[in-house]
Homo-oligomer: A and B are copies of this chain.
Amino acid sequence: MNGAESLVHTLLASGVDTCFTNPGTSEMHFVAALDRIPGVHCVLGLFEGVVTGAADGYARVSGKPAATLLHCGPGLANGLANLHNARRASTPIVNIVGDQATYHRPNDPPLTADTEGWARGASGWVRTATDAASVGADAAAAVQAAMIAPGQIATLILPSDTSWNEGGVVAPPLPRLAAPLAAPNQVDEAAAILRRGGDGVVLMLGGEALGEAGLALAHRIAVATGCALFADAAPKIARGRGRAAPQRVPYVVDAAVQAMAGTKRLILCGARKPVTFFAYPGKPTSAIPPDAEVQVLARKDQDAVEALARLADVLHAPDAPPPDLGEKPQPGRGPLTPESFAATVGALIPEGAIIADESITYGRGLGAYTRASAPHDWLSPSGGAIGGGMPLATGAAVGAPGRRVINLQADGSAMYTVQSLWTQAREKLDVTTVLLSNRKYQILLGELANVGANPGRTALEMMDLGNPDLNWTGMAQAMGVEAARADTADGFGDLLAGSLGRKGPFLIELLI
Once A285-B107, A462-B23 are accepted as A-B contacts, the answer to whether A426 and B278 lie under 8 Å apart by CB is no
Say yes or no: B121 contacts A113, CB within 8 Å: yes
* A84 CB within 8 Å of chain B: yes
> Nearest B residue to A449 by beta-carbon distance?
B28
Q: Complex: how many Å from CA A36 to CA B459?
A: 9
Contact between chains at B278 and A456 (CB < 8 Å): no
Give the chain B neighbours of A286 by CB distance below 8 A.
Answer: 107
Interface residue ranges of A22-63 to B (CB < 8 Å):
23-26, 28-29, 31-32, 34-36, 40, 42, 44, 46-47, 49
Q: What is the chain B residue whose CB lies nearest that of A477?
A: B474
Nearest B residue (CB) for A453: B32
| CB of A127 closer than 8 Å to a CB of B | no
A416 within 8 A of B: yes
Given contacts A78-B81, A110-B383, A468-B422, contact A28 B121 (CB under 8 A): no
Cβ–Cβ contact A475 & B468, under 8 A? no
Provide the residues of chain B in CB contact with A109, threshold 8 Å. Answer: 275-278, 285, 384
Considering only CB atoms, which chain B residue lies closest to A105 in the complex? B279
Task: Indicate whether A144 reaches chain B with its CB closer than 8 angstroms.
Answer: no
Contact A23 B84 (CB under 8 A): no
Contact (Cβ within 8 A) B114 A121: yes
Residue-wise, chain A 122-134 has the 8 Å CB interface mask toward B (1 for contact) of: 1000000000000
Copies of this protein in the complex: 2
Q: In chain B, what residue has the closest Cβ to A384?
A: B111
Question: By the criterion CB–CB under 8 Å, are A101 and B279 in contact?
Answer: yes
Residue among A117, A415, A456, A464 facing the most chain B CB atoms (10 A cut-off): A415
Which residues from chain B contact A197 at a C-beta distance below 8 Å? Answer: none
Q: How far is the CA of A443 from the CA of B111 in the complex (A)?
A: 15
- Give Cα distance in the complex from A387 to B47, angstroms: 9
Residues of B with C-beta under 8 A to A384: 74, 109-111
Report the separation of the CA atoms of residues A164 and B282 in the bound assembly, to the nearest whole angstrom.
11
List the B side residues contacting A12 at CB < 8 Å: none
Q: Which residues of A come within 8 Å of B, CB atoms? A: 21, 23-26, 28-29, 31-32, 34-36, 40, 42, 44, 46-47, 49, 72-75, 77-78, 80-81, 84-85, 88, 100-101, 103-104, 107-111, 113-114, 117-118, 120-122, 160-161, 164, 233, 272, 275-279, 281, 285-286, 382-385, 387, 412, 415-416, 418-419, 422, 425-426, 443-444, 447-448, 450-451, 453, 455-459, 461-465, 467-472, 474-475, 477-480
Could you tell me the distance between the alpha carbons of A404 and B154 in the complex, rounded to whole angstroms?
46
CB closest residue in chain B, given A232: B110
A-B pairs with the 7 shortest C-beta distances?
A468-B480, A474-B478, A74-B385, A114-B121, A101-B279, A77-B80, A104-B279
B residues in contact with A32, CB < 8 Å: 448, 451, 453, 455, 459
A436 shortest CB reach to chain B, Å? 15
Contacts of A415 in B (CB 8 A): 46-47, 419, 422
Once the chains are docked, how many angstroms separate the CA of A456 from the CA of B117? Answer: 35
A462 to B465, CA, bound (A): 33
Given A117-B117, A458-B35, A477-B474, residue A110 in contact with residue B277 (CB < 8 A)? yes
| B279 pairs with A451, CB closer than 8 A | no
CA A382 to CA B113, docked complex, whole Å: 13
Question: Which chain B residue has the least Cβ–Cβ distance from A120?
Answer: B117
